[in-house]
């Protein structure tokens, strides 16, 4: 089985959750499946897949080895990195990912769109690429109803409205030794196209100080690990620790996905700017308050019955809103959320089982 656009060794632990969660979902149907991941920087394919030009050549030239390599798989699970089946990240990204799916379909491999965010598509070309992808998919799944509505508007309703594949991962059993884990996003800490980074910095510091004034113990969590890429959380969490002027503040830099899931399971509350920091928390039984910066947060969580998302773009005082939520007893609500997630994943496994 081929899992496309999910890196099981990424420095972004949300991407690892996507990769390993997709593999776990496949193995619910095919327990002995050998799963191969292919993504922008992987070396699993015989030629690079991270640029649209070699993919066009592979479509036109049957001698290109990538075609035979793809044809060797029984199934291609197209994750689109969870939220990249849209044109908000640029048409080049959407084109490249769509071409690989089209190439797999063209050599006879069933392509399944894993549970993911679909849309938005603001351009004519983006909508055309999306329609073609949906038309050729053997099964199309969304992870929220808003995405399902986006697919329907393109003329191809999804087969299943499911949820994020992180809920297919095993849940670690660890004692709750931490109080509040605060995930700081390196993406938002620096200038970015999503939110005002200076305001974001103020929100994070106000929140950390407000929690501590209320007697809460705050640990700082990196969910994207250190790498040469600027988008990582490690420098941001260390800077927050320094600005809090407390040498005793704990900085949590996990080693891998299993480690971060043990960390979230060890907390009483997670406040996260990375969506999968929150999803790792919720799927391990820990209440989470997301600090959302895009459309992908609220619909997914609302479908699970979780209405505690704080929108950084719309809330006048996000820190105050989080502080109001932080003292609530949410354990029963998290248990109901996980039961709902389990129900939604049944639909995904049933759809996968029908693919021949």
Q: Taking the CA of residue 174 as centre, how many other CA atoms within 13 Å lie in the half-sphere pointing to its CB? A: 20
Predicted local distance difference test score (pLDDT) of residue 234: 97
Q: Which domain holds residue 307?
A: 180-337
Predicted local distance difference test score (pLDDT) of residue 330: 93
Same domain for 7 and 61, yes or no, is: yes
Same domain for 27 and 147, yes or no, is: yes
End residue of a domain, out of 161, 189, 218 = 161
Spatial separation of the C-alpha atoms in residues 271 and 278, rounded to whole Å: 7
Q: Is the pLDDT at 144 greater than 90, yes or no?
A: yes
End residue of a domain, out of 161, 192, 209 = 161
What is the per-residue pLDDT across 98-123, written as a single tens digit (0 to 9) for each? 999 999 999 999 999 999 999 999 99
Is residue 83, in this structure, part of any structural domain at all?
yes
Is residue 157, in this structure, part of any structural domain at all?
yes
Tokens 């891998």 -> residue: 256
Q: What is the DSSP string of 247-263?
A: TT-EEE--SSHHHHHHH
Same domain for 120 and 185, yes or no, is: no
End residue of a domain, out of 134, 161, 188 = 161
Q: Show the tokens assigned to 65.
A: 């080895």
Is residue 37, in this structure, part of any structural domain at all?
yes
Split at pLDDT 50, 70, 90, the class of 295 is: confident
CATH of the domain at 9: 3.40.50
pTM > 0.85: yes
Please return the burial class of 210, using the count of CB atoms within 10 Å of its CB with bins 0-12, 13-18 and 19+.
Answer: middle
What is the per-residue pLDDT across 169-198, written as a single tens digit (0 to 9) for each? 999 999 999 999 999 999 999 999 999 999
Split at pLDDT 50, 70, 90, the class of 294 is: confident
Is residue 168, in this structure, part of any structural domain at all?
no
Is residue 345, in this structure, part of any structural domain at all?
no
Is residue 142, in this structure, part of any structural domain at all?
yes
| CA-closest candidate to residue 303, choices 320, 318, 319, 282 | 282
Same domain for 116 and 258, yes or no, is: no
Pairing, β 269-272 against β 180-183: parallel
Report for 52-66, 166-180, 235-249: range of highest mean pLDDT: 166-180
Same domain for 6 and 84, yes or no, is: yes
Q: How many structural domains compose the chain?
A: 2
What does the pLDDT average to over 82-86?
94
| CA-closest candidate to residue 94, choices 115, 68, 120 | 120
Spatial separation of the C-alpha atoms in residues 152 and 174, rounded to whole Å: 42
Predicted local distance difference test score (pLDDT) of residue 41: 82
Same domain for 42 and 117, yes or no, is: yes
Pairing, β 218-221 against β 180-183: parallel
Give Cα 181 to chain centroid, integer Å: 19
| Spatial contact of 310 and 318, defined as CB atoms under 8 Å apart | yes
Same domain for 31 and 106, yes or no, is: yes
Is residue 169, in this structure, part of any structural domain at all?
no
CATH of the domain at 223: 3.40.50.2000
Same domain for 146 and 216, yes or no, is: no
Is residue 166, in this structure, part of any structural domain at all?
no
| CA-closest candidate to residue 97, choices 111, 114, 78 | 78
The sign of the torsion formed by the CA atoms of 150, 152, 154, 160 equals positive
What does the pLDDT average to over 50-72?
92
Same domain for 8 and 71, yes or no, is: yes
**What percent of the chain clears pLDDT 70, i.e. is strictly above it?**
99
Same domain for 195 and 90, yes or no, is: no
Same domain for 57 and 189, yes or no, is: no
Q: What is the DSSP string of 220-250?
A: EE-SB---SSS--SHHHHHHHHHHTT-TT-E
Give Cα 255 to chain centroid, integer Å: 18
Same domain for 188 and 121, yes or no, is: no
What is the per-residue pLDDT across 196-212, written as a single tens digit (0 to 9) for each? 999 999 999 999 999 99
């Amino acid at each position: 089985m081929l899992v496309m656009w999910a890196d099981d060794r990424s420095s972004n632990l949300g991407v690892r959750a996507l990769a390993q969660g997709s593999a776990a979902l496949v193995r619910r149907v095919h327990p002995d499946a050998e799963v191969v991941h292919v993504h922008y920087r992987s070396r699993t394919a015989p030629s690079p897949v991270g640029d649209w030009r070699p993919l066009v050549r592979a479509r036109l030239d049957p001698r290109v080895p990538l075609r035979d390599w793809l044809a060797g798989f029984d199934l291609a699970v197209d994750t689109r990195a969870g939220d990249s089946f849209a044109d908000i990240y640029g048409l080049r990204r959407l084109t490249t990912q769509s071409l690989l799916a089209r190439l797999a379909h063209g050599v006879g491999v069933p392509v399944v769109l894993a549970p993911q965010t679909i849309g938005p598509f603001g351009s004519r070309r983006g909508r055309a690429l999306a329609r073609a992808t949906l038309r050729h998919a053997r099964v199309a799944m969304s992870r929220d109803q808003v995405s399902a509505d986006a697919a329907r508007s393109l003329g191809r309703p999804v087969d299943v409205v499911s949820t994020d594949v992180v809920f297919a991962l095993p849940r670690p059993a660890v004692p709750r030794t931490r109080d509040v884990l605060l995930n700081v996003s390196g993406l938002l800490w620096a200038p970015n196209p999503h939110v005002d980074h200076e305001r974001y910095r103020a929100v994070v510091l106000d929140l950390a100080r407000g929690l501590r004034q209320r007697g809460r113990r705050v640990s700082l969590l990196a969910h994207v690990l250190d790498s040469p890429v600027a988008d990582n959380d490690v420098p941001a969490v260390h800077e927050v620790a320094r600005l809090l002027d407390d040498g005793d503040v704990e900085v949590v830099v996990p080693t891998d996905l299993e480690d971060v899931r043990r960390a979230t399971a060890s907390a009483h509350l997670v406040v996260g700017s990375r969506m999968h920091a929150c999803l790792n928390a919720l799927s391990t039984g820990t209440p989470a308050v997301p600090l959302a910066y895009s459309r992908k947060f609220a619909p997914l969580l609302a479908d699970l019955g979780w209405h505690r998302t704080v929108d950084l773009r719309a809330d006048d005082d996000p820190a105050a809103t989080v502080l109001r939520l932080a003292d609530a007893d949410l354990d029963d609500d998290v248990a109901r959320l996980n039961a709902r997630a389990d129900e939604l994943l049944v639909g995904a496994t049933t759809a996968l089982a029908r693919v021949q």
